[in-house]
Amino acid sequence: MQNLLGTVFTGLVTDENEKSYFVQKDGVTFKLDKTEGEQQLGDAVEGFGYNGPKQDNKFTTNIPTIQQGVFGFAEVIATRKDLGAFVDIGLPDKEVVVSLDELPTMKELWPKKGDRLMVSLTVDNKDRLWATLAEDSYFNEIGRHVPMTSKDEFKNKDVMVTAYRLKVAGTYVITEDNYLGFLHPSERYIEPRIGEVAKARVIGVAPSGILNVSFKPRAHEVISDDAMMILTFLEKSKEGKIPFTDKSAPEEITATFAISKGQFKRALGSLLKARKVKQEDGFTILLEQTEEQE
């Protein structure tokens, strides 16, 4: 059955009940929900085979683009520490799991809801459907390189990127229009999550045609690097708040942010003045920006 799950095939409608048609292929029967359209016994119908939430064989005529051997970006719906990341590939009643074995060892680098992962599908020896991350070779295959004659057009350009590979040397990213990029650790405050989508700016083009990008602000922008770092910590925190204020101990500030208390207070003061944060009960809290504030 491994050759049917996660693939598109044409099966024969052999039976029905009040809610479902039963579609057979190679001696294996799949259940097709009647809400997807009317069928007749003996009809040949094309669709996608998968195992449903109860591990029963399901069939849908709403064919997802992500299949066995076919890659695409899938949105992360949730994560479970003992299992992995659940992604939406377009099935009506099921998310597919990327195994924790494929995710970073550090849980804080796991994707969050709304991130996106480039995946295809695979089936294990127990006929369970999994999503599997694309290898570097796939990104090299689909990725675009900037011609040296066009490199000046990209310099200082803002781009939206997705982090697809995390390594000690830095983070490999791909833009919305499939240009490959690289984020050096010196050009970020915190390492991005795998699958994280973020705004970056191009600071150069490597001889290979790969974009060098930065998550740090331009020098002329109002918010200082220290303030931007604090905002980044806030944005990545679970509840949009951190247990630090201008009253925090200097050693705690230095241990967390690698800056002095004086630098921290100046940065925090600029964020308070800009109404981007507030302090309350020993926490600095990220404020939602209204159109008027922006």
- pTM of the predicted structure, to 2 decimals: 0.75
pLDDT at residue number 265: 93
**Domain of residue 258, residue span:** 225-286
In the listed set 35, 60, 85, which residue is the last one of a domain according to the structure? Answer: 60
Q: Are residues 195 and 238 in the same domain?
A: no
**Position 294 in a domain:** no
Q: What is the pLDDT of residues 235-292, one digit of tens each?
A: 888 889 999 999 999 999 999 999 999 999 999 998 998 888 999 999 999 987 533 3
pLDDT of residue 221: 58
Q: What was the pLDDT predicted at 54?
A: 85
State the pLDDT at residue 63. 96
**Residue numbers in the chain where pLDDT is lower than 50:** 220, 290-294
- E-strand ranges in 134-207 read 158-167, 170-175, 180-183, 197-205
Question: Is there a single domain that holds both residue 153 and residue 196?
Answer: yes
Assigned domain for 66 exists: no
CATH number of the domain where residue 269 is located: 1.10.10.10
Residue 264 lies in a domain: yes
Long-range contacts of 10-13 (CB under 8 A, 24+ apart): 10/44, 10/45, 10/46, 11/44, 11/45, 11/47, 11/59, 12/42, 12/43, 12/44, 12/45, 13/39, 13/40, 13/41, 13/42, 13/43, 13/44, 13/45
Domain annotation covers residue 3: no
177 falls within a domain: yes
CA distance 54 to 94: 10
- Mark whether 193 and 234 lie in a shared domain: no
The answer to whether position 36 is within a domain reads: yes
> Does 20 share its domain with 54?
yes
291 occurs within a structural domain: no
253 and 208 in a common domain = no
Do 86 and 38 share a structural domain? Answer: no
Report the largest interatomic distance among the alpha carbons of the chain, rounded to a whole angstrom: 78
